[in-house]
Structure 1
Amino acid sequence: MDLFRTPQIVLFTRDIDGAVAFYNALGFEEVFRTPSNGTPIHVDLALDGYRIGLATETSTREDHGLDPTADGQRAAVILWTDDVPAGYARLIDLGAKPIKTPETWLDRLLIAWVEDPDGHLVQVVQALN
């Protein structure tokens, strides 16, 4: 028996409705929300079997006694694609802040970087032939 399973990352946010809308627009689908009515304090989204949680900075502080931060480049969401330039443009159209335009890395990948509306890094990446 494995001790751990189903890894997931949780990103802290000050604007959970905006964060949910941003990741929904990228193709993530909501799979969990609490509370189920009104403004949520936590929402899980899934894409291709990978799950991202979004938790409000306030609820994490009040409910769990932690000191989360919703500022800066604390984590990166990696999105594989067959078209980095199109993915990069789509992220910017959805309100992401451009960080690095598409560039070749390791002579085998094309990558670009943006920040989501909460400042989390999002990398779009494709394998080059």
Structure 2
Amino acid sequence: MTKIKPKLTDEEKRLLKLRNEMNRKRPWFRRQEWFRYKRLGDHWRRPKGKHSKMREHKGYRPPVVDSGYRGPRKVRGLHPSGFKEVLVHNVKDLEGINPEREAIRIASRVGVKKRTEIEKKAKELNIRVLNPMLRGE
């Protein structure tokens, strides 16, 4: 089975490549004092303390989430393949999808029976499935 490729402009291809490079350089944002207390975990929370050095963006503190780390606006929200993701729950949801610009992601709550129907219909309509079932055909 050949992979379906999106129809992208040269600028969009360039910006996707740029976003990929930016993602590689982007630091791992961790919560303030994540290393000190196990109960905090390392998921991001904004530092809000009055005397917080992290909130003040001191150089010797870990990086803080900022708008400057965002990707280019034109390719924001696109899958790394270049398609716009559309969440699908049943076969009827495939009706309004543009196969040149959009790809589907089958919802996690969909069972095997309905999933195979959706994948079969998507193949007929030449729509890319981003999370196909991992079974031999």
- Calculate the TM-score normalised by the size of structure 1: 0.24
More strand as a share of residues: 1
More helix as a share of residues: 2
Larger Rg: 2
- Calculate the TM-score normalised by the size of structure 2: 0.23
